[in-house]
């Protein structure tokens, strides 16, 4: 037995080190797992929110408890995105706040509990009645608010609903801000009736109206919605005189006829009854409220046999301003207003090392033409510098008369160095298109010797997540707005050589960043950088608060 002791001792001595690492690793792993605790609260009241879904890095999730609390155990050390959401509430990302980043990053282990704030929805509700006090049943109600779309400020529809049989309506899920209530024109009856024209008659009805009972947006009252607000609105619609539009359409086949469409600046079709005499081409549109409209006429093409015609039917567009009965209009159908496109490719192989893309040559560009008076008739096409590119087009056809803003966006690693229509520099100015105009082609020049700009944003010396405006001094319309990442950094590729002012603005999502009058409030504190072809530069900027005057 005495001989066994050394052997046992040796075995214990030998096996101990083999067993210890597993135990040590388990202890170390347990020591490197942490807890993330916190609470979800109402940003307006500070009250806890139960039943909110809390997600950590899209891997772990749970619902907040009755006290708004949540607790995640066993999280490895690191940085995690943390988000909470619940119907009837908005987190910062859903509110579109640029200083919120993709999701806030938290470092685990954290110091203390985490507080996640959700903003309660706003609600506008009420009743809509006719002049006689009867409910306005099945009327649409729209909530409008100003939005920045591609750097242009426009009044857009945020939400809509329809009144019930009592004239009641409710619009929920509204973020904080200013809203206008709009009641679109009432429309009923047939669109096109091929019959003899009716005699003139005086009518009244309900055209487009805004709260609190006015016919134009400039006189409307904004409704301010704060977090959690429930605003009651009682609106009585005022009947308005309705007018008639008369004229003649030429160029249509008497066998097939033509169709008419009257559209307001919101993109709504407003006609109630259209009477058309196919033999003479005379037409009559009844029940039109006062306002500015676009009258569209199009020949009806026969479908059958060989199928639909591959060509665009003859058409015409005519702006119409209605303040009373309108007569004597003459519309001549034809191919419509057309403008061709020529793309000049000045890209050089392997010149785009700063582009962030592996493409060496860009042959296509997206072109958008947006009429200022009728933005709903915006048109976008793809054009190419060489023939035979699938999906590419050689120009715009059937344009509406008006003033256009033209934009070009290359597909790939390049920038638009020039965009012209005759002597009009479209990088700087609008394009006027008159009825029946014969326009020179849009000429687009593409280059790929663009520069790279790196931007670091701070606030009191700490990285700040927000939006960055890169504002070219020569061409403000070419300004770009980019978000920083969670470390407060952003990189912009394919910038045209030139001088830029770089500005970081808190909550920049609502910034009219291509408007020199708006940007003037920020440019005094901008960082200025001049970028040569294929250049690289890094600038640091301090975030500025949003100017409340815009």
The one-digit pLDDT tens for each residue of the chain (550 residues) are: 434 433 333 333 334 444 445 554 445 445 678 889 999 999 999 999 999 999 998 889 999 999 999 999 988 988 888 889 999 999 988 887 655 544 557 778 887 889 999 999 999 999 999 888 899 999 999 999 988 877 777 888 999 999 999 999 999 999 999 999 999 876 654 556 666 677 777 788 888 899 998 888 889 999 999 999 999 999 999 888 999 999 999 988 777 788 888 888 887 888 778 888 888 899 999 888 888 898 988 888 655 444 434 466 888 888 899 999 999 999 988 877 889 999 999 988 766 555 444 444 547 899 999 988 888 788 899 998 887 677 778 899 888 888 999 999 998 889 999 999 999 999 999 999 987 788 999 999 999 999 999 999 988 888 888 889 999 988 999 999 998 887 889 999 999 999 999 999 887 777 888 889 888 889 989 999 999 999 999 999 998 887 654 5
Give the separation between CA 236 and CA 370, rounded to whole angstroms: 35
Long-range contacts for 279-283 (Cβ within 8 Å, ≥24 apart)? 279/254, 280/248, 281/248, 281/249, 281/250, 281/252, 282/197, 282/246, 282/247, 282/248, 283/197, 283/246, 283/247, 283/248, 283/249
Which single residue is written with the structure tokens 């024109």? 185
Write down the pLDDT at residue 455: 95
- Maximum CA pair distance of the chain? 129
Question: Is residue 464 within 8 Å of 439, Cβ to Cβ?
Answer: no
Write down the pLDDT at residue 544: 87
Question: Is residue 540 within 8 Å of 453, Cβ to Cβ?
Answer: no
Write down the pLDDT at residue 94: 83
Write down the pLDDT at residue 541: 92
Residue 265 buriedness (CB in 10 A; 0-12 / 13-18 / 19+): middle
Q: Measured at the alpha carbon of residue 314, what is the angle toward residues 371 and 442, in degrees to the nearest 5? A: 40
Question: Is residue 541 within 8 Å of 455, Cβ to Cβ?
Answer: yes
Question: Is residue 190 within 8 Å of 275, Cβ to Cβ?
Answer: no
C-alpha distances in angstroms, 547 versus 6, 93, 513? 84, 21, 12
Give the separation between CA 480 and CA 146, rounded to whole angstroms: 19
Write down the pLDDT at residue 231: 97
Write down the pLDDT at residue 420: 96
Write down the pLDDT at residue 269: 80
**Tokens of residue 209, six digits:** 């109206």
Please, what's the b/e burial string for 112-135 (b: 16 or more CB within 10 A of its CB; e: otherwise)?
eebebbbbbbbbbebbbbbeeeeb
Tell me the CA end-to-end span of the chain in Å, nearest whole number: 95
Write down the pLDDT at residue 131: 84
| pTM score of the predicted model | 0.76
Compute how many other C-beta atoms are within 10 angstroms of the C-beta atom of residue 189: 11
Write down the pLDDT at residue 349: 77
Strand intervals (E) in 226-272: 230-236, 240-250, 258-264
C-alpha distances in angstroms, 395 versus 42, 87, 261, 373, 414? 53, 46, 24, 21, 21
- Dihedral (CA of 243, 248, 253, 254) sign: positive
Helix (H) or strand (E) holding 203: strand 203-205
Give the separation between CA 537 and CA 550, rounded to whole angstroms: 30
Write down the pLDDT at residue 28: 46
Give the separation between CA 247 and CA 327, rounded to whole angstroms: 6
Write down the pLDDT at residue 23: 55
């Amino acid at each position: 037995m005495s001989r066994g002791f050394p052997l046992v001792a040796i075995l214990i001595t030998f096996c101990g080190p083999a067993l210890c690492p597993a135990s040590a690793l388990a202890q170390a792993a347990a020591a490197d797992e942490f807890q993330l605790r916190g609470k979800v609260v109402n940003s307006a009241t500070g009250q806890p929110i139960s039943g909110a879904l809390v997600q950590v890095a899209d891997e772990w999730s749970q619902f907040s408890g009755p006290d708004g609390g949540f607790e995640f155990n066993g999280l490895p050390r690191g940085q995690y995105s943390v988000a909470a959401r619940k119907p009837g509430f908005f987190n910062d990302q859903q509110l579109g706040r640029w200083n919120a980043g993709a999701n806030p990053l938290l470092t685990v282990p954290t110091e203390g509990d985490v507080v996640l704030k959700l903003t309660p929805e706003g609600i506008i509700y009420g009743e809509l009645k006719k002049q006689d006090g009867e409910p306005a049943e099945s009327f649409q109600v729209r909530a409008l608010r100003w939005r920045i779309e591609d750097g242009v400020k426009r009044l857009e529809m945020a939400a809509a609903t329809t009144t019930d049989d009592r004239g009641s309506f409710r619009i929920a899920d509204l973020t904080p801000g200013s809203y206008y209530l709009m009641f679109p024109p009432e429309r009923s009856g047939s669109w096109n009736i091929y019959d003899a024209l009716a005699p003139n008659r005086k009518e009244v009805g309900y055209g487009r109206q805004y709260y609190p009972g006015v016919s134009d947006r400039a006189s409307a009252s904004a409704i301010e919605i704060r977090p959690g607000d429930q605003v009651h609105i009682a609106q009585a619609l005022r009947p308005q005189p309705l007018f008639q539009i008369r004229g003649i359409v030429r160029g249509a086949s008497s066998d097939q006829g033509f169709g008419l469409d009257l559209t307001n600046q919101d993109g709504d079709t407003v006609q109630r009854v259209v009477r058309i005499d196919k033999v003479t081409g005379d037409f009559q549109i009844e029940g039109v409220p006062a306002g500015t409209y676009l009258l569209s006429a199009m020949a009806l093409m026969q479908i059958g046999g060989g199928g639909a015609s591959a060509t665009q039917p003859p058409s015409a567009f005519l702006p119409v301003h209605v303040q009373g009965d309108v007569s004597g209009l003459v519309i001549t159908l034809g191919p419509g207003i057309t403008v061709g496109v020529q793309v000049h490719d000045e890209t050089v192989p392997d010149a785009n090392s700063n582009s962030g893309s592996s493409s060496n040559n860009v042959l296509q560009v997206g072109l958008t033409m947006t009429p200022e008076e009728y933005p709903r008739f915006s048109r976008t096409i793809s054009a190419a510098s060489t023939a035979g590119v699938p999906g590419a087009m050689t120009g715009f056809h059937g344009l509406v008369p008006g003033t256009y803003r033209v934009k070009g966006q290359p597909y790939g690693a390049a920038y638009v160095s020039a965009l012209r229509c005759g002597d009009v520099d479209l990088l700087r100015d609008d394009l006027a298109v008159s009825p029946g105009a014969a326009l020179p082609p849009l000429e687009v020049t593409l280059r790929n010797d663009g520069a790279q700009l790196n931007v670091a944003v701070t606030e009191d010396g700490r990285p700040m997540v927000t939006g960055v405006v890169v504002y070219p001094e020569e061409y403000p319309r070419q300004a770009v707005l980019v978000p920083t990442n969670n470390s407060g950094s952003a990189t912009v590729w394919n910038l045209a050589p030139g001088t830029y002012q770089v500005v970081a603005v808190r909550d920049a999502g609502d910034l009219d960043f291509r408007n020199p009058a708006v940007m003037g409030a920020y440019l005094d504190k901008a960082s200025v950088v001049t970028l040569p072809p294929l250049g690289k530069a890094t600038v640091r900027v301090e975030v500025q608060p949003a100017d409340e005057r815009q």
